[in-house]
Every structure is written in structure tokens, then in C-alpha cells.
């Protein structure tokens, strides 16, 4: 017997007729939403002997208590300790759902595939596998774009600044410079003489007699 309920994706809880004692108590508390008592009951059952059903339902209980890492570990214990293909497939599926919710798409896809190999006709597993593959396809171009931007940024930072113009050195020889200065002096002298003629000021002081 199994009871199905829905979270983000389909999530399954397994309750078996053959279970008695603490497992039955745990199942009762789980259905009532008292997850602390359910966890305690399943843990007590497991302390007595290995019980894949109790381990599986403990995983679901831990998920309800938002202990995702512990829930995944509990499903892994179920997978490792059960020989029943259907229960193993359910544990794989629920582990895949939690990985999917955490956006660990590659891991989720791998787990869904393992579950589907055990129960090829299970439409819920197939549906979630398709959802994970679609999400991965959408995510890959975005990751590639982010990586490309990350790689290009250091290149931009390392761009060398544009070269500064070097001061131009004079190509004139020493002789040419002297000639140039002499020409300037001559021109200045001529300008002074011209100004003196206009103002009537003598170019040289008159001698004393």
C-alpha cells in the first residue's frame, strides 16, 4: 500500500500492511502531520533492526521537517539495504526529487534514470526526468554565458593603457640653433630701431661735450 502526495514534483510515501509496532506508530503520526513523533518512532524501529520501509518513511519525514541532507541520506540507506526493486525505485525517485529541488540537475537526472531502469513503466519518474532534462537544457546556455563573461573580465582588466606620446626631440643642429637665435636678435634689433624712429628717441645717448 502506498499513499501519494504532491510537492513541487510528485513525492511518494510508502506504508506497508506487514509493518507492526513502531513503524505502524510512525505511519500514524506521519499521516496526522506529527513529524517529530513519526521520526522518533521510525528511529526506534531502526534501532532494533534494519527495516527498509521504516528507513524510507523516515526519509519522507525528514523531508517534511526540511532536513533535506538527512532525508537524502535516509533514502540512500533504503537503496543500499533493500532487494525489492519497487521500493528501491521509489527511494531513488524521492532522492532525485530532492536533488532536483536543490537544482543539482546532473545528479537528479542520473538518479531518475536509475529509478526508471528498475520501473520502466513509471510515468511519474519519466515526467520528472523530462523536467530535469529540460531545466538543464535551459540552464546550460546561461552557465556558458556567465563563464564567458567571467573569462572576458580579467582580459578587460589587463588591457594595457594607450601609449603616451613621447616628447619630440629637436632635429636642429647646434649651428642651426645659433643661426636661428642670431636671426631673432637681428629681427628684434630692427624692430627696436623702427620704434625709435617713430617716437624720436635716439638709439644711442648723445656724447657729452
Structural domain includes residue 122:
yes
Tell me how many domains the chain contains. 1
Q: For residues 14 and 62, which has the higher predicted lDDT (pLDDT)? A: 62
Q: Residue 174 — very low, low, confident or very high, per pLDDT cuts 50/70/90?
A: low
Q: For residues 18 and 190, which has the higher predicted lDDT (pLDDT)? A: 190
Q: Residue 108 — very low, low, confident or very high, per pLDDT cuts 50/70/90?
A: very high
Structural domain includes residue 109:
yes
Backbone angles phi, psi at 122, to 5 degrees: -75, 110
Structural domain includes residue 173:
no
Structural domain includes residue 38:
yes
Structural domain includes residue 176:
no
Q: 32-65 pLDDT, tens per residue?
A: 999 999 999 999 999 988 899 999 999 999 999 9
pLDDT reported for residue 149: 72
Which of 40-54, 131-145, 163-177 has the weakest average pLDDT?
163-177
Q: How many residues does the chain have?
A: 209
Long-range contacts formed by 113-120: CB under 8 A, 24+ apart: 115/89, 115/90, 116/89, 118/85, 118/86, 118/88, 118/89, 118/92, 119/85, 119/86, 119/89
> Averaged over 81-105, what is the pLDDT?
92
Domain of residue 67, CATH code: 1.25.40.10
Beta strands in the chain (DSSP E): 2-6, 10-14
Q: Tell whether the model's pLDDT for residue 202 goes beyond 60.
A: no
> Averaged over 164-182, what is the pLDDT?
66
Structural domain includes residue 174:
no
pLDDT reported for residue 6: 32
pLDDT reported for residue 19: 60
Structural domain includes residue 185:
no
Which of 17-21, 47-51, 103-107, 120-124 has the weakest average pLDDT?
17-21
pLDDT reported for residue 81: 93
- Residue 100 structural domain: 2-139
**What is the b/e burial string over 2-23, where b = at least 16 CB atoms within 10 angstroms of the residue's CB?**
eeeeeeebbbbbbbbeebeebb
Structural domain includes residue 193:
no
Q: Is the pTM of this model over 0.75?
A: no
Amino acid at each position: 500500500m502506498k499513499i501519494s502526495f504532491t510537492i513541487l514534483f510528485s513525492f511518494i510515501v510508502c506504508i506497508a500492511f506487514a509493518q507492526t509496532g513502531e513503524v505502524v506508530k510512525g505511519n500514524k503520526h506521519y499521516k496526522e502531520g506529527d513529524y517529530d513523533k513519526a521520526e522518533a518512532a521510525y528511529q526506534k524501529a531502526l534501532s532494533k533492526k534494519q527495516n527498509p520501509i521504516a528507513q524510507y518513511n523516515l526519509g519522507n519525514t525528514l523531508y517534511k521537517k526540511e532536513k533535506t541532507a538527512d532525508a537524502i541520506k535516509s533514502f540512500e540507506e533504503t537503496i543500499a539495504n533493500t532487494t525489492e526493486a519497487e521500493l528501491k525505485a521509489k527511494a531513488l525517485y524521492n532522492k532525485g526529487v530532492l536533488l532536483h529541488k536543490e537544482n543539482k540537475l546532473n545528479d537528479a537526472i542520473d538518479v531518475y534514470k536509475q529509478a526508471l531502469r528498475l520501473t520502466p513503466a513509471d510515468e511519474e519518474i519519466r515526467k520528472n526526468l523530462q523536467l530535469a532534462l529540460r531545466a538543464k537544457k535551459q540552464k546550460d546556455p546561461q552557465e556558458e554565458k556567465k563563464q564567458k563573461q567571467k573569462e572576458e573580465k580579467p582580459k578587460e582588466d589587463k588591457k594595457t593603457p594607450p601609449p603616451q606620446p613621447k616628447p619630440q626631440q629637436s632635429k636642429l643642429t647646434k649651428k642651426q640653433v645659433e643661426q636661428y637665435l642670431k636671426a631673432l636678435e637681428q629681427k628684434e634689433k630692427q624692430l627696436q630701431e623702427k620704434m625709435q624712429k617713430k617716437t624720436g628717441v635716439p638709439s644711442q645717448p648723445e656724447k657729452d661735450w
